[in-house]
């Protein structure tokens, strides 16, 4: 099933269940809506908003939408190896994160306290990869590539929500292990020597975790490269309940 199909199904389920919960409001002790933003992500050029809706006395469905437009106040580390140093690498794109939560305590004052959840994240980001590459034969090539990364992440999360005064709250996700399936596409704007991709693959394997998961991992131009990696989610949100 394609990632876009996952997004459609999960978002449709969220809308249907939310409408159902409104119809049952008179039978629920907890009828709460929560909107929040991540105050840290803008420092990294990303803006993310979340909506959570209680569907029971201690369960909820939520969805987050995020957009990354730049690297923010922090410069992105360049891709570098022996014969290549890239220009600044700034990924931009969007992400969507549907999630389900189960709160350990039932509270008539709202959904707060310790919770366990499950989430799915889909993101699509692109960047221009450029620089000068010098081969082992001292041949110099200008590299200009359109890089695209599509990721689908499945995981669980553990967090805590503090209800503050006048409807405000703090939501902290402190553990969110999962796994991601990633599709990397490098589209050449100008011709790139194969030696560059060989050296790039070796440099990525030197990171360690990629070589451990897939010792035959290789990046190639003008085609899709797939790899599955561990993932981790964490964050803090400030919001308002109504």
CA–CA separation, 30 vs 219, rounded Å? 51
Residues 6 or more apart from 208 whose CB is under 8 A from it? Answer: none
Question: Which phi and psi (to 5°) does residue 101 adopt?
Answer: -130, 145
Q: Measure Cα distances from 78 to 84, 180, 205 in Å.
A: 10, 23, 16
pLDDT digits (tens, 9 = 90+) for 12-21: 544 444 444 4
Cα 166 from Cα 39, distance rounded (Å): 19
The model carries a pTM of: 0.79
Q: Pick the range with the lowest mean pLDDT from 49-53, 89-93, 172-176, 228-232.
A: 89-93
CA 57, 61, 64: angle at the middle one, nearest 5? 140
Most trustworthy range by pLDDT among 39-43, 71-75, 168-172, 224-228:
168-172
Cβ neighbours of 160 (radius 10 Å): 15
CA 66/CA 153 separation, integer angstroms: 15
Taking only the tens place, the pLDDT of each residue in 146-160 is 999 999 999 999 999
Give me the mean pLDDT over the 89-101 stretch. 93
Please tell me whether residue 42 adopts helix, strand or coil conformation.
Answer: helix
Q: Per residue in 113-141, pLDDT tens? A: 999 999 999 999 998 888 889 888 888 88
């Amino acid at each position: 099933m394609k990632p876009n199909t996952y997004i459609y199904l999960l978002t449709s389920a969220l809308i249907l269940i939310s409408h159902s919960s409104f119809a049952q409001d008179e039978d629920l002790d907890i009828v709460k809506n929560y909107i929040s933003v991540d105050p840290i992500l803008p420092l990294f050029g990303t803006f993310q908003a979340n909506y959570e809706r209680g569907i029971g006395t201690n369960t909820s469905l939520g969805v987050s939408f995020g957009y990354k437009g730049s690297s923010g106040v922090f410069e992105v580390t360049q891709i570098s190896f022996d014969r290549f140093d890239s220009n600044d690498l700034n990924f931009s794109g969007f992400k969507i994160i549907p999630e389900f939560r189960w709160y350990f305590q039932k509270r008539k004052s709202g959904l707060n306290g310790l919770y366990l959840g499950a989430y799915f994240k889909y993101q699509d980001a692109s960047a221009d990869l450029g620089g000068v590459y010098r081969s082992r034969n001292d041949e110099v090539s200008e590299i200009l590539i359109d890089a695209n990364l599509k990721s689908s992440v499945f995981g669980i999360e553990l967090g805590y929500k503090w209800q503050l005064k006048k409807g405000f709250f703090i939501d902290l996700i402190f553990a969110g292990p999962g796994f991601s399936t990633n599709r990397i596409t490098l589209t050449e704007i100008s011709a790139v020597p194969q030696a560059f991709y060989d050296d790039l693959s070796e440099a990525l394997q030197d990171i360690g975790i990629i070589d451990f998961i897939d010792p035959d991992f290789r990046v190639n131009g003008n085609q899709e490269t797939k790899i599955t990696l561990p993932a981790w989610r964490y964050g803090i949100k400030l919001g308002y309940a109504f």
